[in-house]
Copies of this chain bind each other. A is one copy, B any other.
C-alpha cells in the first residue's frame, strides 16, 4: 500500500509551530503516513531540535517564509503574502505531491487559499466546514460550522447535500437524516432564509426530517444539522463554553465537603473517560467540504495531540475518498 502524504501548515494556530511540529512528528511515526511540514524551515528546524526530534524517513519540510496571522483579513493577507504557509500547502495538494492539507490556523485564510488554489467542486457556490459533535447516541455532523456568515437558502441546501456525503463517511450511515436548525420544529418557524431553505430541502432526495431546535442537536435526532456559519459557530462555541463552565462549577461543588471530595477522587477515571468523549481534540480537525481537494481545519488552540489526531483523520478521509463522494452527491 503506498503511503498517504499529508501537508501540515506548521505556522497556523495559537501554539504554532512548536505543538504543530511535535504532533506532526508523532503522526509521521504511524505506518502508512508521510508528513510534510510547511513553514519557515529555519524556525521549524529549531522547533524540532528543541523537542529532540529529527527530520528524515516520513517527515520532511517545505519552505514557506510567510504566514497569515489570526487578526488579518484573509483575502488581502493572501494577496500580500503569495508565499504564505497555507497557500504553499494547498499548492502541494494541487500539484499532487500530497493528498490532503491540515491547518490549525486562520479558518478564513484556509478557506480562501483552498478556494483560490484548488477551486470548488462543480456546482458548489460555497465551501463549508463540516464538524462532528457528540450526541447521546454517538455523533452528528454540523455544517456549516463557521466558514460562511451570510448565507442564502441555496447555500444551505448544498450544505445539506455535502453534509450527508460527509456523514456517510464519518458516521458510517447509509441514509443519514438531515435536519435544519431553527427556533421551532414547524416549517413556518425561523428567519426568512431558513423558511425558504426548508421548502427547498424538502424537494431534494435527502432524508430531510425538517427543522430541529438547537437543544436536539445533542439528542442525536438528526445525523446532519444544517445551518449558516454564524449559527454553527455559536453552537460550537456555546458547547465549549458550557462544558468549561460546568466543569468549573461542578469542581467547586465537589470540593466543598470532605465526603464529596472523596467522591470526586473515587470518580476520577469516570471524569477522564467523560472528558475524552466530549473533547474535540479527539478528531483533531474538520474538512472544508465543497473544495476540489481535501483541506482540514483544526481548532486554533490545537495541542500536539490534536494535530496528531488531525493527521489521522485526514488519512481516513483520503482513504474514504471524501472529495469524490461529495462530488457524486452533488451531481446526483
Binding site for B on A (CB under 8 A): 71, 73, 134-136, 146, 149-150, 181, 183, 186, 188, 190-192, 194, 213-219, 229-231, 233-246, 248-250, 253-254, 256-257, 259-260, 262-271, 273-274, 277-278
Q: When the two chains form their complex, are residues B214 and A237 in contact, meaning their CB atoms are under 8 A apart? A: yes
List chain B residues, Cβ under 8 A from A277: 249, 253
Query: How far does the alpha carbon of A191 sit from the alpha carbon of B264 in the complex, in Å?
Result: 43
Option from B229, B240, B245, B259 in Cβ contact (under 8 Å) with A134: B245
Q: When the two chains form their complex, are residues A266 and B270 in contact, meaning their CB atoms are under 8 A apart? A: no
Q: When the two chains form their complex, are residues B190 and A230 in contact, meaning their CB atoms are under 8 A apart? A: yes
Option from B194, B237, B253 in Cβ contact (under 8 Å) with A273: B253
Q: When the two chains form their complex, are residues B183 and A229 in contact, meaning their CB atoms are under 8 A apart? A: yes
Q: When the two chains form their complex, are residues A183 and B149 in contact, meaning their CB atoms are under 8 A apart? A: yes
Q: Which 4 A-B pairs have the closest CB atoms?
A: A263-B266, A263-B267, A214-B237, A253-B270
Nearest Cβ on chain B to A153's Cβ, whole angstroms: 14
Which single residue of chain B is at the shortest CB-CB distance from A192? B150
Q: Is the interface of A mostly helix, strand, loop or mixed?
A: helix
14 contacts between A and B (CB under 8 A): A136-B244, A150-B191, A181-B234, A183-B230, A214-B233, A215-B238, A215-B244, A218-B241, A219-B244, A234-B235, A259-B267, A260-B269, A263-B270, A267-B267
Which single residue of chain B is at the shortest CB-CB distance from A266? B263
Which single residue of chain B is at the shortest CB-CB distance from A236? B214
Contact A249:B266 (CB < 8 A) given known A146-B183, A238-B217, A241-B214: no
Option from B214, B257, B274 in Cβ contact (under 8 Å) with A269: B257
List chain B residues, Cβ under 8 A from A134: 245, 249
Query: How far does the alpha carbon of A270 sit from the alpha carbon of B150 in the complex, in Å?
Result: 43
Option from B135, B230, B257, B271 in Cβ contact (under 8 Å) with A191: B230
Contact A135:B245 (CB < 8 A) given known A231-B234, A270-B253: yes
Query: How far does the alpha carbon of A253 sit from the alpha carbon of B144 in the complex, in Å?
Result: 31
List chain B residues, Cβ under 8 A from A240: 215
Nearest Cβ on chain B to A141's Cβ, whole angstroms: 16
Query: How far does the alpha carbon of A235 sit from the alpha carbon of B278 in the complex, in Å?
Result: 18
Q: When the two chains form their complex, are residues B231 and A244 in contact, meaning their CB atoms are under 8 A apart? A: no
Which single residue of chain B is at the shortest CB-CB distance from A277? B249
Query: How far does the alpha carbon of A216 sit from the alpha carbon of B150 in the complex, in Å?
Result: 22
Q: When the two chains form their complex, are residues B242 and A238 in contact, meaning their CB atoms are under 8 A apart? A: yes
Q: When the two chains form their complex, are residues B191 and A217 in contact, meaning their CB atoms are under 8 A apart? A: no
Which single residue of chain B is at the shortest CB-CB distance from A250? B274
Q: When the two chains form their complex, are residues B274 and A266 in contact, meaning their CB atoms are under 8 A apart? A: no
